[in-house]
Amino acid sequence: MSDNTHPARILLQKPEEEGPVRTGDIFDKAFAFTRADEAMAAGVYPYFKPISSHNGGTVVVDGREMIITGSNDYLGLSQDPRLAEAAAGVSATYGTSCTGSRFLTGTLTLHEELERRLAAFLGAEAVLTFSTGFLGCLSVVSALVNRQDIIYFDRENHASLYDGARLSFGTLRRYRHDDLAGLERLLAGDADRPGGRMIVTDGVFSMSGHVADLPGIVGLAREYGARVVVDDAHATGVLGEGGRGTAEHFGLQEEIDLIIGTFSKSFASVGGFVSGQRAVVDYVKHHARPFIFTAAPAAMQVAVTLEALEIMQTEPQHRERVLKNAARLRRGMAELGFDTLGSQSQIVPVLIGPDELTVVFWKALWDAGIFTTPALPPGVPSNGSLIRTSVNANHTPEQIDSILEAFASVGARLGMIG
């Protein structure tokens, strides 16, 4: 089967390959978009798979139990009955929705309680919470960066940070992933320009599983008068002796200016936060349009987050288990001969390479009962496609071994290993 007729290629078509597009109607691009339907018909569509139930390291899809890998429920708390009880316990008092923004009628005593407790946990002067982690990134970057300011981005930063940069009107400088020599060249080249400086980086990168070189970044920031902002979405609850994230992991809690995070991963809820100096957090609170004009998080989600925070602080075994599981998965992939891109965290990518082969590899894993997803262009470079795996605290050693066995079987069949 040629490259042009392979079913996997449907997912990889560029927009101009989808067929002629008329001009004049703004909906034409939508009418011409047929890849998703074609991929579904060919049985190679890997996204939007509906889960009917979830139990620890397994899920049920279309009546079939599958081992899930790639979920962000790192501490495995999303099915903890204590969180469900916390949500039910506040519904009678606060109702199902705030129906307004925090700025006007949507602030609850629960919001302020969570912000106080999270600030104490992180050792910060203040915390502000958001309806989603994505909104937190949009709010912080767009509110603090003005036209003359310069922001420095690792190229693999999350999309929410890039969108915040677009809203900010500041100048964006990107450096190659983890290339601190490149970052220093950019900082030195801008030394005589007016405006402020902000270095923004993920703490744990969501595709590679790499941990940012915060010691190096902090050193450059202090040398060139820049502030440091860390998006710790994938690190809070997992890294650091107390689960406080990348800064604690490196012993740099006093050196990071702002930490942005989410509640949709280790906290098993929905929402986001920023922590830092009170004056800076208060400025974001009064100037960030994505925050001011968005409805506040519902009380039930806040109650869930509070309960998860309590568990995070008092039951370190969840963090210990996810780290142990991650080490088992990384070691097993390496022994099989797969390239995990130097992952240092609970996110363990498996580099496949050719884009079509990655889709074929995903489908074979799916057929073997392993629920995971491929990362394809433009999310990764062309022919740099991968299968993103991750573990949680509820995965058993037997389930991790089953994941490895499936990768071994498919890799051997496709001629990648062995």
Cα separation, 272 vs 288, in Å, equals 14
In the block, tokens 């496949």 appear at: 352
What's the N-to-C CA distance of the chain in angstroms? 24
Given 78, 131, 206, 402, the catalytic residue? 206
Cβ atoms of residues 51 and 61 within 8 Å: yes
Cβ atoms of residues 101 and 292 within 8 Å: yes
Cα separation, 104 vs 237, in Å, equals 31
Active-site residue 285, yes or no?
A: no
Given 158, 210, 265, 363, the catalytic residue? 265
Active-site residue 101, yes or no?
A: no
Cα separation, 38 vs 318, in Å, equals 42
H, E, C per residue of 384-413: CEEEEEECCCCCCHHHHHHHHHHHHHHHHH
Cα separation, 318 vs 376, in Å, equals 31
Strands 370-371 and 64-68: parallel
Active-site residue 206, yes or no?
A: yes
Cβ atoms of residues 196 and 227 within 8 Å: yes
How many other CB atoms sit within 10 Å of the CB of residue 45?
18
Dihedral (CA of 176, 181, 183, 189) sign: negative
Cβ atoms of residues 284 and 142 within 8 Å: no
Q: How many CA atoms lie within 13 A of 27 on its CB side?
A: 1
Strand partners for 114: none
Strand partners for 276: 126, 258
Given 158, 210, 234, 363, the catalytic residue? 234
Question: Residue 162: what residue type?
Answer: Y
List, in order, residues 6 or more apart from 249 with CB less than 8 Å away. 211, 214, 235, 239, 240
**Residues assigned a catalytic role:** 206, 234, 265
